[in-house]
Structure 1
Amino acid sequence: MRDRATIKKVLRFIRPHGGLVALMLLLAAVTVASTLYAPILIGKAVDQIVGPGQIYVLKLSRILVQLGVVIAVTAVAQWLMNLLTNQVTYRVVQDVRAQAFLHLQKVPVSYIDQNQPGDILSRIVNDVSQFSDGLLMGFTQLFTGIVTILGTIGFMLSINVKIALLVVLLTPVSLFVASFIASRTYQMFRLQSEKRAEMTSLVEELVGNQKVVQAFSYERTAMERFDSINGQLQICGVRALFFSSITNPCTRFVNGLVYAGVGIFGAFTVIQQGMTVGQLTSFLNYANQYTKPFNEISGVVTELENAIACARRIFEFMETPVEEPDQKDAVVLQKVDGSLEVENVSFSYRKDTPLLQDISIQVQPGQRIAIVGPTGCGKTTMINLLMRFYDVDKGQIRISGYPVREVTRDSLRRNFGMVLQDTWLKAGTIRENIAYGNPDAAMEEIIQAAKQAHAHSFIQRLPKGYDTVIAEDGGNISQGQKQLLCIARVMLMHPPMLILDEATSSIDTRTEVRVQKAFAKLMEGRTSFIVAHRLSTIQEADLILVMKDGNIIEQGRHQELLEKSGFYAKLYESQFAAS
């Protein structure tokens, strides 16, 4: 097991449970000691019945009573040890999974954007489960195996030094076999974990977009992609299983040679009266107990190699850089007047591909700011910067006079209400989804927010009204209904600033008119940013920012921009040419 850094990290998680581990190891030592003492009693019992007419019933009875007590102690100690092993293992796994999920909340949005969700999911769920299985099986068996080996060597040396040395000299052969196989199983198990993550990502992608898959007749290509990854997983899985499965037979073969050598050499020693028959019986028991841990340890090592390979992937995720923490003296935004200033801001997702360049805008409290432009011009990027999902490369953004880097992210984001083009709803009731950002809201407030969003009527038609349970991401309601619920969710928050990113894109024209009226009422006195492709929805905006290639090329009110006959006028004419 060569990944010492990963093992040290695992030990850090085990350390808080040191008391239970110490007790567990003590019980393991008691189990080993009682197990090793039993062959001595068996040897003494054999010596009481060797030879014609030489059966010493009284002594034999005492030995058998002692043997019964030793076996009972072994059974109880082993049961308690296994109980504690389960406790320690599952507590460690709980801590690892909790910290991994906590880390997921702290990683920057850029990490989520750049990595497959299925791979992250596989690390937190699948790899932690594999890690727990290996840790559960291997932890005590490894310890008891090592103690058993050392203990049997000591007892064998006390009986006959020459035969004990014969056993010890054959030990490196078994160790070499186990080490040779383990070095190959680690790489196979690591590759298996990576391929399992790829498959999880692919399945999640296809299941979550099954309608698109079928609409574009992508089934055959999807199956080919799945078969390719599944085939690779099968190959590395078979290889890992092959190397792990030959470990036990190989070490058992070596151990059989050791046992045969002890039996033959011991028989000659008995004939020469170098030891008693009972001692030979004890020695054969010890030889068997001595070799047995090598079988177990070789099997345990393969499981631990798998566990360590999975643990390494977990720790790699947990060591990814977290979102830059708030400054120690960061201000908590409480009363926001809605003013906002973007001063000479530049930003790019990749340093070699510039996007926003030297952007400057001044927003007064209560203004409605529309951002328009062709796809990829930087509209959504502007929203990401306002919410501090990303930080600017150059320049400064101020809200109510405070630079956003000098305020806490939580208080900044609580002052914004967002309705995005991509709707998201959790598995739960309608009421819980509307109250997602304000769980303590009264039922009357929830209903009022739904009425303002024109969602109340369709909610009442559902089987259980506001207590109707919807599937994950709202799979059992229409896209337009999901959008209305997202709008109601924001309306319940009553934030001082709004961000509407294609907020009505999935709503029919008639409902859109009503929702626009609701938005108009909601936006009264609130600074609002409206990202829109349909220019009919932003004609009443106080300021329209026209973006192209990461720059604001025009700005002004709707009529002013039309009179300029510039880029905005061309966009408008392209949409309304028919009318």
Structure 2
Amino acid sequence: MINFIRRPFGHLPQLKKEEIGSKRQRSKADNMGQTLIRIWQFMRGERKKLYFIISLVVVTSLLSIVGPFLVGRIVDNYFIPKEFDGLFRVLIILLISYVLLSITTFTQAYLMVGLSQRTIYNLRHHLFEHMQELPVTFYDKRQHGELMSRMTNDIETLSQTMNSSFIQFTTSIVTLLGTFSVMLYLSPLLTFLTALIIPLLIVGVRYITNRTGPLYKKRQKRTGELNGYIEEIVSGQEIVKVFSQEERAINNFEERARNLREVTFWANLYSGLIPKLMNMLNNISFTIVAGAGGILALTSNGLVTVGTIVVFAEYARQFTRPLADLSNQLNQVLSAIAGAERVFQIIDSPTETDQGTITNKSIKGHIDFDHVSFSYMKSQKTPTIQDLSFTINEGESVALIGATGAGKTTIMQLLARFYETDQGQIRIDGEDIKDYKRHTIRSQTAFVLQDPYLFEASIMENIRYGRLDATDEEVIEAAKTANAHDFIIDMAHGYDTVLDLSDGLISQGQKQLISIARALITDPAILLLDEATSSIDTITELKIQESLERLMKGRTSIIIAHRLNTIKSVDRIFVLDQGQMLESGTESELLMKKGKYYDMVNQ
């Protein structure tokens, strides 16, 4: 199994299943409606609960209308005529309606939180699962922090919206329709006067939302860029300090933070206008109801009663409140949709294609490169690998040497099928590498990198990561072979020591020894060592050299090395330059040729 964590080649600032169970049917999230449909698809299995919640929302909204209506009836039928027979019964009904209102409100909120979190879990799980299927090229072109922002910030924005906005949105619509119907029943004239604010509301809200929508999208994007930059600087803090670029890092951060501050300022400013607008319109509506209702109550001979005015005063607030809530929720929905679209952009990214048919085949390790050419970017004038041909026999050890950019690491990545060749063919045991399933190759290949990566888990689990079914005894034996056993048992908890990578518990060389043990436990057919001893001191290097030589026996091994003393025991040496083979042979043969390798040794 390949133990491989890549650094991106560059940082460029800056997907979905039609059904969750299908990994191949995808469509783009180009607009709000389509994005909402895709969110709806992640609610499969929850829709009956959602319908029940909607029914509770309808009941809650109707109960909120019943209270003011009964208050108006009490004023007209009991207080004004001062006849109190039956008043107690009506008050009991009023009390029951408010108790039921509290119960349904709590129940719908409780159920909706559970439903929304299960939906968000499905979406987050689906996104993470999809990210494991994306090719290395996807990560090469994106900042890791920006991707993390989509996994965390964008999904959390959607989660908060689903928790509160859905119920509020539905409640507002039902309340608005119910309130309007009762108002129309009580007094069409006062209803007409109250509705005079609607044109003003529509114009004002449209003006605001036309500006907040694009601003929310821009805010989500700039948040991702800022997170990406922070992750980049934190990871490269040593480089920042070595070159004394703290001031430059601060200036770049300030620029990105300033861009985020500006777009957030305008987004919040415009969205904050909605409550002010609604408060103003609510006061206007209340003034109209009180003024016009009072005049009508005095002059209309019972057309409008005092109880009707009391009801309308309350309904005027209930009429404008759902309008305000709808407007406010629309802002939150726009922000959530912007985040969801960014998530779906990743889900829509194509996964690694694998047309191979060879599975579960035991690889022996014979490797052929037949006129292979490859470029990381199609715009490259000079390919990284140019018409490269060579053969490595089963069980043979080969060292790749050459200047930076010669194509050494690229050869290993092509063997692991992180990338596909542009021209030519790579064969393993006589079969085209593209005919193998990727897992078949990677599960029988061990890759030890120059910069080891360990997880915050026990040493035992870090080594076992190479083969999850390995026993404790096999883990310990691999550690002994890698000469890691002695320092491990000297630690307080031995193999059960949990590595906290932030506290400097182990040295860089010890990390490398653990990563070598992790590779050893896979018992690979092909061993790829990318400057595996460069992070280890001379004494430790001498310790592991013998064990590496034992490990390479019987296995096809490819070693990248800059220090020539580390490749003395290999069977052959390939000297590369700009993706081409300059010369190859045993060390003695190359020294006799007095070519490039001879010059390198003398230098």
The normalised TM-score by structure 1 is 0.95
Q: Distance in 1 between matches of 2:445 and 2:58?
A: 61
> Taking structure 1 as reference, are residues 535 and 473 closer, same or farther at Cα in structure 2, changes over 3 Å only?
farther
- Note the C-alpha offset of 1:4: 2.6
Distance in 1 separating the partners of 2:241 and 2:466: 35
Higher relative contact order (CA 8 A, sep 6+): 2
Superposition pairs for residues 211-230 of structure 1, below 5 Å? 211-230=238-257
SS at match of 2:424: strand
In structure 2, what is the Cα distance between the partners aligned to 1:472 and 1:172?
61
Tell whether 2:345 aligns with 1:316.
Answer: yes
The aligned residue for residue 577 of structure 1 is none
Q: Is the 8 A contact 1:339 1:400 kept in 2?
A: yes
Which residue is 1:373 aligned to?
A: 402
Write out aligned runs for 1:57-76 (5 A): 57-76=84-103
Matched, 1:546 2:538: no
**In structure 2, do the counterparts of structure 1 residues 178 and 14 end up closer, same or farther at CA, with 3 Å as the change threshold?**
farther
CA contact (8 A) 1:425 1:474 kept: no
Residues in 1 aligned to 2:305 and 2:171: alpha-carbon distance in whole angstroms = 29
CA distance in 2, matches of 1:474, 1:441: 28
Match of 2:86, SS?
Answer: helix
Rounded Cα–Cα distance in structure 2 between residues aligned with 1:488 and 1:31: 63
What is the CA distance between 1:285 and its match in structure 2?
2.0
Distance in 2 between the 1:365 and 1:234 partners?
60
What's the offset of the Cα at 1:222?
1.6
Please say if 1:162 is aligned against 2:189.
Answer: yes
Q: 1 CA distance for matches of 2:468 and 2:434? A: 28
Q: After the TM superposition, which residues 104-119 of structure 1 pair with which residues of structure 2 at under 5 Å, given as runs?
A: 104-119=131-146
Does 2:127 align with 1:100? yes
Which residue pairs with 2:273 in the alignment?
Answer: 246
Summarize the alignment of residues 414-429 of structure 1 with structure 2, pairs less than 5 Å apart: 414-429=443-458
Given that residues 424 and 474 in structure 1 are in contact (C-alpha distance below 8 angstroms), is that contact kept between their aligned partners in structure 2?
Answer: no
The amino acid that maps onto 1:228 is E
1:526 is aligned to 2:542: no
Q: What is the CA–CA distance in structure 1 between the aligned matches of 2:34 and 2:306, rounded to whole Å?
A: 50
In 2, the alpha carbon distance for the partners of 1:15 and 1:500 equals 47
1:184 is aligned to 2:211: yes
8 A contact 2:400–2:561 mirrored in 1: yes
- The 1:199/1:475 distance shift into structure 2, 3 A limit, reads farther
Deviation at 1:117, TM superposition (A): 0.5
Q: How much is the aligned-residue C-alpha RMSD, in angstroms?
A: 1.7
Aligned to 2:3: none
Does the C-alpha gap of structure 1 residues 101 and 474 become closer, same or farther in structure 2, counting only changes over 3 Å?
Answer: farther
Q: Per the alignment, in what secondary structure is the counterpart of residue 46 of structure 2?
A: helix
Check the 8 A contact 2:549/2:569 in 1, yes or no.
no
Partner of 1:175 in structure 2?
Answer: 202
- Size of the aligned set, in residue pairs, is 570
| Residue number in structure 2 paired with 1:325 | 354
Does the CA-based 8 Å contact 2:366-2:393 persist in structure 1?
A: yes
CA distance in 1, matches of 2:462, 2:44: 41
Residue of 539, 553, 573 corresponding to 2:602: 573
2:497 is equivalent to residue 494 of structure 1: no
2:526 and 2:557 in contact (8 A); partners too? yes
Contact 1:174-1:255 at 8 Å conserved across structures: no
How far off is 1:94 after superposition?
0.9
State the match for 2:545 in structure 1.
516
Structure 1 residues without counterparts, runs of 5 or longer: 575-579
Which residue of the other structure, out of 459, 471, 479, is the alignment partner of 1:430? 459
Give the corresponding residue for 1:301.
330
**Equivalent of 2:388, from 336, 344, 359?**
359
Which residue identity is paired with 2:139?
I
Task: Kindly indicate whether the alpha-carbon contact (under 8 Å) linking 1:420 and 1:501 is maintained by their aligned counterparts in 2.
Answer: yes
5+ residue gaps, structure 2 = 1-29
Which shifted more, 98-107 or 223-232? 223-232
Deviation per CA, 1:47-83: give whole Å up to 9, x if none.
13344xx322222112111111111111111111101
User: 2:451–2:535: 8 Å Cα contact kept in structure 1?
Assistant: no
Question: Who is 1:77 aligned against?
Answer: 104
Q: Output the CA distance in 2 between the equivalents of 1:177 and 1:365.
A: 75
Deviations 1:166-225 (A, max 9, x none): 323421211221222122122222222222212212222222233332233222222222
Matched, 1:127 2:165: no
Structure 2 contact 35–340 (Cα < 8 Å) conserved: yes
8 Å Cα contact 2:444-2:522 kept in structure 1? no
Do structure 1's residue 48 and structure 2's residue 77 form an aligned pair? yes
4+ runs deviating over 6 angstroms:
none
Q: Which residue of 2 aligns with 1:286?
A: 315
Structure-2 separation of matches of 1:11 and 1:316: 17
Contact 2:143 2:232 in 1 (8 A): no
Q: 1:344 aligns with which of 365, 371, 387?
A: 371
Q: Is the 8 A contact 1:118 1:201 kept in 2?
A: yes
- CA–CA separation in structure 1 for the residues paired with 2:450 and 2:283: 69
What CA distance in whole angstroms lies between the structure 2 residues aligned with 1:453 and 1:331?
32
From 138, 143, 146, the equivalent of 2:170 is 143
Match of 1:387 among 412, 416, 420: 416
- 1:263 corresponds in structure 2 to 290
Q: Where does residue 18 of structure 2 map in the other structure? A: none
1:1-40 to structure 2, matched below 5 A, reads 3-40=32-69
Query: In the aligned structure 2, how far is the partner of 1:424 from the partner of 1:298?
Result: 49
Q: How far apart are residue 447 of structure 1 and its match?
A: 1.6
Corresponding residue to 2:430 among 388, 401, 406 = 401
Q: Distance in 2 between matches of 1:12 and 1:208?
A: 37
Q: In the alignment, is the contact (CA less than 8 A) between 2:575 and 2:582 conserved in 1? A: yes
1:193 aligns with 2:199: no
Alpha-carbon distance, 1:262 to partner = 2.0
In structure 1, distance between residues paired with 2:378 and 2:247: 38
Q: What is the deviation of 1:108?
A: 0.5
One-letter amino acid of the counterpart of residue 156, structure 2: S
- Structure 2 Cα separation of the partners of residues 360 and 487 of structure 1: 29
Q: Give 1:535's match in structure 2, choosing from 547, 556, 564.
A: 564
> Identical aligned pairs, as a percentage?
35
Deviation at 1:473, TM superposition (A): 7.9
Aligned-partner SS, 2:74:
helix
Checking the alignment, whether the CA contact within 8 Å between 1:159 and 1:279 is kept in structure 2 is: yes
Moved more, 553-562 or 12-21: 12-21
Structure showing the higher helix proportion among its residues: 1
Cα displacement (A) at 1:461: 2.1
TM superposition score normalised by structure 2? 0.91
Question: SS of the residue aligned with 1:370?
Answer: strand
Q: Secondary structure at the match of 1:552?
A: strand
- The change in CA–CA distance for 1:175 and 1:475 in structure 2 (over 3 A counts) is farther
Give the Cα separation in 2 of the matches to 1:2 and 1:25: 25
- 8 Å contact from structure 1 (residues 371, 529) kept in 2: yes
SS in 2 for 1:500: strand
Q: Is 2:87 aligned against 1:87?
A: no
Contact 1:340 1:398 in 2 (8 A): yes
Structure 1 residue 486: deviation in Å? Answer: 0.7
Using the TM superposition, give the Cα deviation of residue 15 of structure 1 relative to its aligned residue in structure 2, in angstroms.
4.4
